[in-house]
Structure 1
Amino acid sequence: MRNHIILTSGRSGSNYLTNVLNRHPRLVNYGEVLAPMIPPYKWFLKCKLCPWSVERYLNGFYHSRLVFHAGQVYSARAHRKAKKPVHHKRYRDVVSIGTKDFFLSVKNAGMTDYYVARPEISIIYLRRDNLLKRYLSGVFMRKTRIAASEQAVEVPKGRVDLEHLDRSLMIMAAEVAHEQAVMAALTRHPVMSIRYEDYFASDVSIIDYNQRVFAFLGVEPIPIKSEQKKILPQAIRDLVENYDELCAHLADGPYAKFLEDA
């Protein structure tokens, strides 16, 4: 059994890609497993009697058949509840099992070295270069309270708090530096880097990148798209009430480059 992880940061398309992987009949991705609000890790952190280390906890997702079958049961229940078809996968048919986590979650769990020490785990590095759009995606996600949807979502226009924007861009720039340091340490691993802006450039690019990911993970590169739709497809000018003020604020500064395709 092969293993993989999608390493990313918030609002970079990872929910979409995870859904794509799970639509392939020979892949399984459990999604986030190191975020404190995610039930498995939340329960693990609260369990005072659990004898396992975080390393053993992660090993369970990558190697345990029990976890695999439990995941299949959970997935089937979720699909039935949503009145969607159930596609049960058999362990022997699956080529690669993986997870998705944010660099920050891996760091906070003290598990960066776990991945550095395991060159057999394939790394999908999904990044979003335009930090302004990434910030706005988070702002409007909180406004709509929807992180991912299979239906088109109309995002209401709103104002951007420029002081909050400045702080957030500085934090995200530091996150990017951390991402690059981690990736520089993963020298022995199979790595596929995907830039959000290239991935979601068009319907054609989405299918092309999905097929590349499938080939990278050793499965048939069939033409699959996610069931989800992107939440923020509109132009930033049409979403931000104080767009001119935003442009003037960022002009001639280190983040002015993010306005070029905004």
Structure 2
Amino acid sequence: MIQKAAIAPMFDALVSTLTQQYLKVRQQYRHAQALWAYRWTDSNALPAPRFILFGRGRSGTTALLSMLDDVPALHCEGEVLHNYVPYPYRHVLGRSARAAAPGYGCKILSYQVQDVQNALEHPASFIDRLWNEGGFQILYLRRANLLRHALSNIRARREQFHKKKDDTPDEARALRVDPDHVMEWIRSSEALGAYEERLLEGVPHLSLTYEEHIRDPDVHQATVDEICASLGVESAPIESSYRKIAPPSVREGVANYDELVRRLRGTPYEKYLEEQD
């Protein structure tokens, strides 16, 4: 007989599996829609402007895209290449063709180009092709503090990191982390940053950082104004639909902070310990 205590985990695992399958099926359905739109839409009739928000996850891309979606001239989608599709370039163009606004933007994360979209013949030139042939402007958002980026990834895998504004606030909890695991995340992020630089080589782009353009809510409007000016569209008052609940410093956010300090001491990443976020 199955114990009652075992039913909940089994049910959760089943729901998780079904959800993943549903998301894959939905992606392929959207891919078919995108290919159809790509086939029958004149390139001159595509939204203008078109842009790609490019970077790593946990760098403020979701928050920035939600703000840009408040601009009437823009329709923004999330990670259009989150799952594998047979024709990535056509998929992105086709998704833009279905936009419900004069302008269109979406998010592409660097790991998706490197690891997910295996149908790409020349991954290193994919962003260049989107700019050069597809007419997409490129916004590049990165997080300069690699330690905080690592901790954000770890936190995201343990709890809901961003919450809607109308959700009940939760007190941010300090994380107990494995310092070696943190170091692995830092080095992985550093490697992705180098990969992004290779993909952007020779590609005109607007460079943004989480620390300068996203971290402080007081700069959000100025950030959107700057991007709209770069895209050539009229800006508008915005309000991000996400809020951060992470502690303001690494010391407050890590329960075993002293252990982490000992691991990072003498490495190039020690400088990130005392930076406020």
Which residue matches 2:183?
166
Bigger shift: residues 17-26 or 219-228? 219-228
The superposition leaves residues 74-112 of structure 1 with CA deviations (integer Å, 9 ceiling, x where unpaired) of: xxxxxxxxxxxxxxxxx4xx3321210111112331355
Q: In structure 1, how many angstroms separate the alpha carbons of the residues matched to 2:87 and 2:196?
A: 24
Question: Could you state the TM-score of these two structures normalised by the residue count of structure 2?
Answer: 0.73
Whichever residue aligns with residue 139 of structure 1, its letter is I
Instruction: Identify the match of residue 180 of structure 1 among 193, 197, 208.
Output: 197
Check whether the contact 1:144–1:155 (CA below 8 A) recurs between aligned residues.
Answer: no
Question: Could you state the TM-score of these two structures normalised by the residue count of structure 1?
Answer: 0.76
Q: Which has the higher contact order (CA 8 A, sep 6+)?
A: 1
Check whether the contact 1:95–1:219 (CA below 8 A) recurs between aligned residues.
Answer: no
Which residue matches 1:104?
111
Check whether the contact 1:129–1:196 (CA below 8 A) recurs between aligned residues.
Answer: yes
Alignment of 1:66-145 (within 5 A): 67-68=98-99, 91=100, 94-108=101-115, 109=117, 110=120, 111-117=123-129, 118-119=131-132, 120-145=135-160
Shift of residue 248 of structure 1?
2.1
Shift of residue 144 of structure 1?
1.6
Whichever residue aligns with residue 177 of structure 1, its letter is A
Shift of residue 60 of structure 1?
0.7
Which residue matches 1:60?
94
Whichever residue aligns with residue 58 of structure 2, its letter is R
RMSD of the alignment, in Å?
2.0
Q: In structure 1, how many angstroms separate the alpha carbons of the residues matched to 2:156 and 2:219?
A: 24
- The gaps in structure 2 that reach 5 residues or longer are 1-46
- Identical counterparts, % of pairs: 30
* 3-state SS, counterpart of residue 226 of structure 1: coil
Instruction: Identify the match of residue 154 of structure 1 among 171, 178, 191.
Output: 171
Which residue matches 2:68?
21
Number of aligned positions between the proteins: 219
List structure 1 runs of 4+ shifted beyond 4 angstroms: none
Check whether the contact 1:9–1:102 (CA below 8 A) recurs between aligned residues.
Answer: yes
From the superposition, tell whether residues 259 and 31 of structure 1 become closer, same or farther in structure 2 (CA, over 3 Å).
same
Check whether the contact 1:5–1:121 (CA below 8 A) recurs between aligned residues.
Answer: yes
- The gaps in structure 1 that reach 5 residues or longer are 46-51, 69-90
The superposition leaves residues 226-245 of structure 1 with CA deviations (integer Å, 9 ceiling, x where unpaired) of: 12112325322122111122
Check whether the contact 1:132–1:169 (CA below 8 A) recurs between aligned residues.
Answer: yes
Q: In structure 2, how many angstroms separate the alpha carbons of the residues matched to 1:207 and 1:217?
A: 15
